[in-house]
Structure 1
């Protein structure tokens, strides 16, 4: 499929773009810790990156529904190039403001880029291949984390942060060129036939999926700040520690591709079970006293989260009407990333008062409690929907074709 489908250009471009971004992120976070010595600075920088998602992700979704998706993706890559190189000017504590400014503008481009990319995937990939392709997306993130973070940590450690910033700039140009060959983007007609369900039920399920993503974002917001602190301070390994921990996440995401591709029957309770398990793994990570154990725990966290992300994205793409895919995916990106940013920002402040291990403990607890609570709401909502439904068991009320086997597409 990668060799012959138009999606391959999105995949290759995403690999190049993501690796460059990881080179830069490892270097930037290390630079901030060196110049400021503050966990607040790291949390603020990470939090600032996702604030633009509040307004620009919905905008990106609307643009995807109206304009040429390929050119939007290419323009966002080109637009971000000069700001990616601006980190080269930062060499003193007084220049830290430029780091925050550049990260904010880069995040603006990313906030537009991501919903357009997801909308493009939904429009060129057949329904039966959505889980497979979303598994490839998790594989992409895994490769990016392994190749970008570990190599980025080594590059920054050996050659300095400036070299990593130059490579990030080059990646934007290369990614835009790869997209030139991308074709497609017209909507598949099967979406129109398969999603004639009552509006109120559809909105209910979408809100439920959003709630799952918000709980996950709350937990992951603390986790994103802890990656740098665990690697550089709790286990004092500097850039190498940060790089290897990001590499562990990449390893888990690569593994999630192989696991998710084997899943034939899935519904939202499986996603909630994975959320609860991930919360437990965060608790375990906060108690680890040896770096290899922490590394392996990070792998399993990414494995669990990668499978859950694959299934949730497949649900969204299957159950959203063609003309609304950009807007729905944009709003989902917006809310989830804003929550992620707020949690990263608050986590930075939290680290000035409490230890990293305490923050990890609380983050895992949020995932477990949120997952259990949502699981209860799921069964209540499902019971209500079934009671009000006047459709047959095999109808599109549950989001699946009557001709298909039970358990493959419903919520």
Structure 2
């Protein structure tokens, strides 16, 4: 009896922790675990290149124009090859495609390292290599996303998405901070070299994945017709279409990052050359998302994924309104962190909907659209918020944007009842 009474509390505590902390059950599946581990290695390394490319361009030219030009060189490949890459992922063995694209990413990082190490002062060479790297990423990203549902049971998809999102947010926090430390100590070229080494290590994990050949009904070729078929499929499935609409609403109306530099200086007291407030504003959203990710063990227990996305998007809008009202830095960081947590919840459920509501022969193309939406929404928001901030002031622009998120998300839920009523499938098969 003593042994039994002593065991029960331990089991109760373990059960409680399992309901609160991030659900790690997907890691019990070796294939998914290898893919996830490869994401850990590359999440931090990718941020090294994200820091190194604009720094290298500025060092070569001394002009922020060319730094901004890198945004176009990165966005165009994402838009074009994100869609086409999803079609390719549906028509070939996804493992082989991951090997090719991971190898391409590692190769371009090595070439960027060589250019930096040799001191070649060619801005166009750096921009072309960066565009090539983003091309490989645009194909790799939807392929990784489409592979997950083949590696784990359907009911674990929300938990897997939470694990992946938490790793990504950790990379978004640690990567730039670590790059800032290494840059003055080891030099710019070392950042590219570390990224290349990380990608090579990830490639080893990808090699050990099982074969993921196309299933019945998959397209034979990845041409324009295949891409258009993906859009037709999306148009016929209101749940999938609504999940993209919710993300567009949240990001286009409610992502105020273009206003961070002005707010850091004029609202929160940074000196003209920049200071700590700007860093905190940029770090707040990923910090909040990472914290919420650690305590995401309860997410898989909610079957009403449409309700989860809608509630999270509305919470994001409310947090952005609070950020617009904030007159102290720490209150602003708090609201942005809450928004980051809401965005992570939305992303987990949206990704799960894409994985479960789309058939396997369409998952790559749907993930390709997802890549384009995720990449394009915040960039469109930069333009809209910049114009609104200049015309109305930063605070009003932020608050209006947050209010539009709340209103548009609520209206979408009313107009698209199928999304509001959507429940996650209960099957165990992948």
2:414 corresponds to which of 366, 371, 379: 379
2:251 to 210, 217, 220: 217
Q: Identify the residue that residue 297 of structure 2 maps to in structure 1.
A: 261
The answer (yes or no) to whether the contact 2:73–2:127 under 8 Å persists in 1 is yes
User: Distance in 2 between the 1:249 and 1:158 partners?
Assistant: 28
Classify the secondary structure of the residue corresponding to 1:51. helix
Which residue, out of 156, 161, 168, partners 1:129? 156
Which residue in 1 is equivalent to 2:165?
Answer: 138
Corresponding residue SS for 1:6: helix
Tell me the equivalent position of 1:195: none
Tell whether the 8 Å contact from 1:272 to 1:374 is kept in structure 2 after alignment.
yes
Match of 2:311 in 1: 273
Alignment of 1:27-38 (within 5 A): 27-32=52-57
Q: 1:97 to 1:5 in 2, by over 3 A?
A: same
Shift of 1:310: 0.3
Q: Partner residue of 1:282?
A: 320
Higher mean displacement: 92-101 or 304-313: 92-101
Residue range with higher mean Cα deviation, 95-104 or 233-242:
233-242
Q: Could you tell me the TM-score, scaled by structure 2's length?
A: 0.73
The separation in 1 between residues aligned to 2:179 and 2:62, in whole angstroms, is 21
For residues 399 and 87 of structure 1, the distance between their equivalents in structure 2, rounded to whole angstroms, comes to 46
Shift of 1:124: 1.6
Alignment of 1:116 onto 2:139: no
Matches within 5 A, 1:2-401: 2-32=27-57, 41-88=66-113, 89=115, 95-183=122-210, 185=212, 203-219=237-253, 222-223=256-257, 225=258, 235=270, 247-263=283-299, 264-265=301-302, 266-285=304-323, 292-344=330-382, 346=383, 354=390, 358=393, 362=397, 365-382=400-417, 398=422
* Higher Cα radius of gyration: 2
**What's the TM-score, normalizing by structure 1?**
0.76
Structure 2: gaps spanning 5 or more residues:
1-24, 217-232
User: Does the C-alpha gap of structure 1 residues 35 and 243 become closer, same or farther in structure 2, counting only changes over 3 Å?
Assistant: farther
Cα 1:160–1:296 change in 2 (3 A) is farther
Task: Tell me the number of residue pairs that the alignment of Structure 1 and Structure 2 aligns.
Answer: 379
> Residues 2-55 of structure 1: CA distance to partner in whole angstroms, max 9, x if unpaired?
254311111111111121111121233445566667665554433542322322
SS of 1:260's partner is coil
* Distance of aligned partners of 1:62 and 1:200 in 2 relative to their CA distance in 1, 3 Å threshold: closer
- Aligned-residue Cα RMSD (Å) equals 4.0
The Cα of 1:330 is off from its aligned counterpart by 1.5
Q: Note if contact 2:49-2:195 (Cα within 8 Å) is conserved in structure 1.
A: yes
Please give the secondary structure, in 1, of the residue aligned with 2:416: helix
Over 3 Å counting, the alpha-carbon distance change for 1:200 and 1:106 in structure 2 is: closer
